[in-house]
Amino acid sequence: MSSMPIKPPRLPVGQLLARMQRQFRVSLYRHVLEAGYADAREAHLQVFGNIDWGGTRLTELAARANMTLASMAELVDELEEKGYLARKPDPTDGRAKLITLTRKGRRAVTHALRATREIERNYADVIGRDRFDRLCESLQSLLDAKIVAVAPDTDRAGPARPKTRT
């Protein structure tokens, strides 16, 4: 009597997403280094993956990356020193600053976007283009549903907490 191998149960969705994100970042960072950006650290992907082409406020970068404001500020400072980013006045609020990409930063993000397309092609080759497209559409639908909102009174993503008076 032959026994068929038992398929292990799938991991919980949080672990699947976290592990895939880790694999993606490792692959993307390898591409970044191969493209000649030896002064970039893997942690800098948190900035490049969350900045808008026209600039983004520091608080928004931190929220998108689910990082503390201080941690994001440290990454932004490093990238500014390396010539990838600049701080400019926010035209919608003179008190605020926008973190913007410099020419060097735009080149790096362009390389990263090309690398992302290559990584996505590899994923589609493994599971099939239709399945990959459905996976991306499903994940986008979950994000669009805003199941977990960013709390307006914190510097990290998470469930909203009621404001308290002191």
State the Cα–Cα distance between residues 126 and 82, nearest whole angstrom.
Answer: 37
CATH of the domain at 68: 1.10.10.10
**Is 125 domain-assigned?**
yes
Tell me if 31 is assigned to some domain: yes
Q: Is residue 78 part of a domain?
A: yes
**Residue keyed to tokens 């490792």:** 26
**Number of helical (H) and strand (E) elements in the chain, helices listed first:** 6, 3
Counting the structural domains of the chain, the total is 1
Within a domain: residue 27?
Answer: yes
**Which residues constitute the domain of residue 109?**
15-144
Q: Is 112 contained in some domain?
A: yes
pLDDT tens digits along 49-87: 999 999 999 999 999 999 999 999 999 999 999 999 999
Select the more confidently predicted residue: 156 or 109. 109
pLDDT digits (tens, 9 = 90+) for 96-125: 899 999 999 999 999 999 999 999 999 999
Please report whether residue 7 resides in a domain. Answer: no
Average of per-residue pLDDT across 139-160: 66
> Torsions phi, psi of 60, nearest 5?
-70, -40
| Residue 52, helix vs strand vs coil | coil
End-to-end CA distance of the chain: 72
* Contact assessment for residue 124 and residue 132, using Cβ atoms and an 8 Å cutoff: yes
- Whole-prediction pTM: 0.77
Establish if 80 belongs to a structural domain.
Answer: yes
Is residue 86 one of the residues assigned to a domain? yes
